[in-house]
Amino acid sequence: EVQVVESGGGLVQTGGSLRLSCEATGFTFDDYVIAWFRQAPGKEREGVSCISNMDVSTNYVDSVKGRFTISSDSAKNTVYLQMNNLKPEDTAVYYCAVPSSQYGPICAATGWDGFIYTHWGQGTQVTVSS
């Protein structure tokens, strides 16, 4: 059974940092792309970043480039999202997601966030105060 568990959210001031963790088990971790999404109140869910555990390629939405860094530790079945220089517009619930297939999205290409992700965590709240 695939399980996805996020942690690390919290309240931080503008300019602060947080590191989110996503522990994903129940599948061959090294064969999959893992992604982070976020959803702010009243807004559509947005793809934030992805990492391919096969070739370690990464991708980011433009609004977080240069501020967020995604990484993966296969020994711990965990993907991290280091978020620096946080802004109020980063406030959202952040979700970690695993696609339906190991032959899933090409993380380095556009459209990675439109693939079918079938396994989601419960989400972790990130709140950035101004």
C-alpha–C-alpha distance, residues 49 and 68, integer Å = 8
**pLDDT for 103:** 84
Over residues 88-118, the pLDDT tens digits come to 999 999 999 999 888 888 999 989 999 999 9
- Asked if 62 contacts 72 with a C-beta cutoff of 8 angstroms, the reply is no
Q: 43-52, 56-65, 100-109 — which is least confidently predicted?
A: 100-109
C-alpha–C-alpha distance, residues 52 and 86, integer Å = 24
- Asked if 61 contacts 38 with a C-beta cutoff of 8 angstroms, the reply is no
**What six digits make up the tokens of 58?**
């990464």
